[in-house]
Structure 1
Amino acid sequence: MAKGWDTVPRKASYDVVIVGGAIYGSATAWFLTENPDFDGSILVVERDPSYASCSTAHTNSCIRQQFSNTLNVQISRFGAEFIKGFRGFMGDDPRVPELSIQNYGYMYLADTPEFAATLRENQKVQLACGAGTRLLTAEEIKAEYPFYNVDDILLGSINTVDEGYWDGGTVFEWWRRMARERGAEYVANEVVAMTKSASGARVESVTLKSGEVIGCGQVVNASGPRAIETARMAGLEIPVEPRKRFTWIFEAETPLDRDLPLTIDPSGVHCRQDGPKTYLAGGHPSHDPAVEYDDFAMDQAFWQDHVWPVLATRIPQFEAIRVITEWAGHYAYNTLDHNAVLGPHPEVENFIFLNGFSGHGLQQSPAMGRGTAEFLTYGEYRSLDLSPFGYDRIVSQQPFIEKAVI
């Protein structure tokens, strides 16, 4: 058992049982405790209190405004507001640090007329929401960032306002810590089964691996890449599976003379500034199957044969680099449309989805955690209407359209 964690719940039933205690389970728990209209009990069940293999631990911790869907832009704009006002949102507690966004920006590079047209369409959506996205010709990119090779580039899109790296680990830690201080109960255990009512319309209890049967008013599936396992306990399906994503931290023999935006190369490889003299690169092979939940093995051939050559071609100073550290993590990948599945199941009314973020999860956690807490409290969303992410679209196979997916 992890230090400070119980394994057995103190009560026989809870108003809200959250399955998974990483960024989304903890965001929901904290926002519930923050809401003056919620006075219920909360149980968070986390199977691995070390969080060693969860997606939250492996994130690259970035935020962007450059989405194609208005709702996703609005979600990120609240995320930026929350990060920059973090201490205030946390009640001006002097223990809580002030946070900021390192505004390297995202640089999308288009090498085809079709992709350039998409960037132009996306910018209109972003500007209408108040984002500061700029479109740059190849010559303008070269003037601002002379280290790029832009011989094949037709257009770039960049926003250096509320776009870049932020300290997601600190937000997660304080959400979890404050939720517990306010009475949300965390246990190191695992939900292994659920019992539904005779009509099948509600989950009445969850069974823990240690044998306890815990009554529940509402259940939140915050299980990350394991979302389908939790859903199936209630007899439900969700198109979410673990997909492997690779990250490398490296240093260059000749560092760049200015910050490197999070650059999305047309090849799919992305890279950004990581520290004063270090850089981060990420990507995945074109063959991108679901993987086992414990598969975090690196693919050295992918780095050697694809990622490094792409980096060296796009930024010639990256011809001579040295990898410092590397890791693989899992996206909770929504195979329908790469966007979140949120809210209740239409038939099992108290089973709440909070799944399938497909790499957008950390940056969307403030708005999505707030929205889920609102739904649990009021039965509706009140700050942002998040209903387009509802499960109904899974049933009807109608994708939520978002063109800017990395």
Structure 2
Amino acid sequence: MTERFDVVIIGGAMMGSSVAWWLSRHPDFNGSILVLERDPTFAQASTTHSNSCIRQQFGSEINIRISQFGAEFLKNWRDYLGSAAPKPAFREFGYLYLAADEPFADALRANHALQTDLGAGTVLLSPEEITARYPMIDPTGLLLGSLGTRDEGYFDGHGILAIWREQAKAAGVTRRTAEVTGLRRTGAHITTVCLADGSTITAGAVVNCSGPSAAYTAQMAGLDLPVAPQKAYSFLFDVAEPLPLDLPLTITPNGVHVRPESRSSYLAGCMDAAGPGADYDDFQMDHALWMDLVWPTLAERIPVFERIKLRTDWVGHYAINTLDHNAIVGAHPEAGNFYLCNGFSGHGLQQSPAMGRGLAELIATGRYQTLDLSPLGYERVAERTPLVERAVI
């Protein structure tokens, strides 16, 4: 059996749903859209395991602009989702980067200058100023802090995903549980999507939104993509003594980060030291990390966290762009109807509003109309010229 759709989106989690939602409402697009997702429960999707946070503290203009639109989307949700949609939760407690060496302190200073020029609310803090604002943080060994004072914090990514899916369905988007097993390509054109049940779909355009599996999807079309899974560990814990005020999402010098979940619980995380290259189905927890790294780091920097109780932990995958830890977005130069939405390296949920909007514009009109995402195009991958980003977490 063969069907035809104007646009086939491979991957139905946050990115795939964003592209489908934006495309279904674009005034210059009236074609058919199919979203293919092999697991509608999203049990192993990066979306499901995300800490669902947004920040403005990046070191490149394009990433700052993307997050600024993400914050605008959350704050002006009625303009985009409609007044009938539930208001997405958005807790603005900020991000706090802590530097304990001069190279990273210099990077924070450079980032701050760019962020300030672009209108972000970032302030630099001396160790004494960190203590004055957040007396629960021990400043020992710190040289500098960088704090986002607005448009940073936690948002309900799962709630937005549900709204996007519901509204896209009402607009005529088709969703199907199916596993893609092949892409047929004729020259610079993807013609057919092959499914595990033996059926095929003729496609006018194909969008790769398959998260950590993005390289595998691209290989089906004979295309290379430098995206690989990296394990990300999360730890939810309760405190015996609640902090006196909201803690920003705090990134310690060794990379362990922590944010509030409620008044008495917090969510900490760290990346796998082995780097990208994990097996696609490897979600095995390294239980030694809690005792050997995460808890000691938290207790040293925030002494109240000496008395905490681990409630649960889990492992997710970041879709790491191994070239420069930044997204790869837009049409592939070797296959003009194969669109990339990949390699977000842990920034996917917060960047999803801008990415879905941009790809919808590109597919519908052939160009970016609101925010030019071309700095994130595949061309830099082909030329091996990374987009430098100094604020990776």
For the criterion TM > 0.5, the same-fold answer is yes
Q: Among residues 111, 126, 139, which one is paired with 1:150 in the alignment? A: 139
Q: Say yes or no: does 1:205 pair with 2:185.
A: no
- 8 Å CA contact 1:84–1:100 kept in 2: the answer is no
Higher mean displacement: 218-227 or 247-256: 247-256
Q: Among residues 110, 115, 118, which one is paired with 1:126 in the alignment? A: 115
Q: Among residues 198, 215, 220, which one is paired with 1:233 in the alignment? A: 220
Q: Among residues 244, 248, 272, which one is paired with 1:261 in the alignment? A: 248
Q: Among residues 301, 313, 330, which one is paired with 1:314 in the alignment? A: 301
| Other structure's SS at 1:12 match | strand
Once the two structures are superposed, residues 94-137 of structure 1 have per-residue CA deviations (whole angstroms, 9 ceiling, x without a partner) of 2x111342111000001112211111110111111111101111
Residue 5 of structure 1: aligned partner: none
* Alpha-carbon distance in structure 1 between the residues aligned to 2:382 and 2:144: 38
Q: Among residues 104, 116, 123, which one is paired with 2:105 in the alignment? A: 116
| Other structure's SS at 2:357 match | helix
* Alpha-carbon distance in structure 2 between the residues aligned to 1:45 and 1:364: 21
Residue 4 of structure 1: aligned partner: none
- 8 Å CA contact 2:56–2:120 kept in 1: the answer is yes
| Other structure's SS at 1:350 match | strand
Once the two structures are superposed, residues 220-257 of structure 1 have per-residue CA deviations (whole angstroms, 9 ceiling, x without a partner) of 00000000111011100101011100000111112211
Alpha-carbon shift at residue 19 of structure 1 (Å): 0.5
Q: Say yes or no: does 1:42 pair with 2:29.
A: no
* Alpha-carbon distance in structure 2 between the residues aligned to 1:193 and 1:180: 26
Residue 369 of structure 1: aligned partner: 356
* Alpha-carbon distance in structure 2 between the residues aligned to 1:37 and 1:177: 21
* Alpha-carbon distance in structure 1 between the residues aligned to 2:119 and 2:40: 39
Residue 65 of structure 2: aligned partner: 74
Q: Say yes or no: does 1:222 pair with 2:215.
A: no
Alpha-carbon shift at residue 307 of structure 1 (Å): 0.9
| Other structure's SS at 2:66 match | helix
Once the two structures are superposed, residues 369-404 of structure 1 have per-residue CA deviations (whole angstroms, 9 ceiling, x without a partner) of 100101111111111110011111111111011110
Q: Say yes or no: does 1:339 pair with 2:330.
A: no
* Alpha-carbon distance in structure 2 between the residues aligned to 1:65 and 1:255: 27
Alpha-carbon shift at residue 286 of structure 1 (Å): 2.5
| Other structure's SS at 1:311 match | helix
Q: Among residues 351, 354, 364, which one is paired with 2:341 in the alignment? A: 354
Q: Say yes or no: does 1:192 pair with 2:186.
A: no
The structure-2 alpha-carbon separation of the partners of 1:382 and 1:272, relative to structure 1 and needing over 3 Å to count, comes to: same
| Other structure's SS at 2:212 match | helix
Residue 88 of structure 2: aligned partner: 99
Q: Among residues 162, 165, 169, which one is paired with 1:173 in the alignment? A: 162
Once the two structures are superposed, residues 121-159 of structure 1 have per-residue CA deviations (whole angstroms, 9 ceiling, x without a partner) of 101111111111011110010011001110101111101
Once the two structures are superposed, residues 269-301 of structure 1 have per-residue CA deviations (whole angstroms, 9 ceiling, x without a partner) of 000111111111000242224212221111111
| Other structure's SS at 1:305 match | helix
Over aligned residue pairs, what C-alpha RMSD do you find? 1.1
* Alpha-carbon distance in structure 2 between the residues aligned to 1:374 and 1:167: 25
- 8 Å CA contact 1:194–1:206 kept in 2: the answer is yes
- 8 Å CA contact 2:256–2:270 kept in 1: the answer is yes
* Alpha-carbon distance in structure 2 between the residues aligned to 1:250 and 1:213: 47
Residue 239 of structure 2: aligned partner: 252
Residue 62 of structure 1: aligned partner: 53
Q: Say yes or no: does 1:140 pair with 2:121.
A: no
Residue identity matched to 1:206: V
Identity of aligned residues (%): 52
Q: Say yes or no: does 1:379 pair with 2:370.
A: no
- 8 Å CA contact 1:84–1:98 kept in 2: the answer is no
- 8 Å CA contact 1:101–1:162 kept in 2: the answer is no
| Other structure's SS at 1:104 match | coil
Structure ranking higher in strand proportion = 2
Residue 5 of structure 2: aligned partner: 14
Residue identity matched to 2:149: T
Alpha-carbon shift at residue 180 of structure 1 (Å): 1.0
- 8 Å CA contact 2:231–2:272 kept in 1: the answer is no
Residue 79 of structure 2: aligned partner: 88
* Alpha-carbon distance in structure 2 between the residues aligned to 1:168 and 1:60: 9
Residue 389 of structure 1: aligned partner: 376
Q: Say yes or no: does 1:242 pair with 2:229.
A: yes
TM-score normalised over the length of structure 1: 0.95
Residue 16 of structure 2: aligned partner: 25
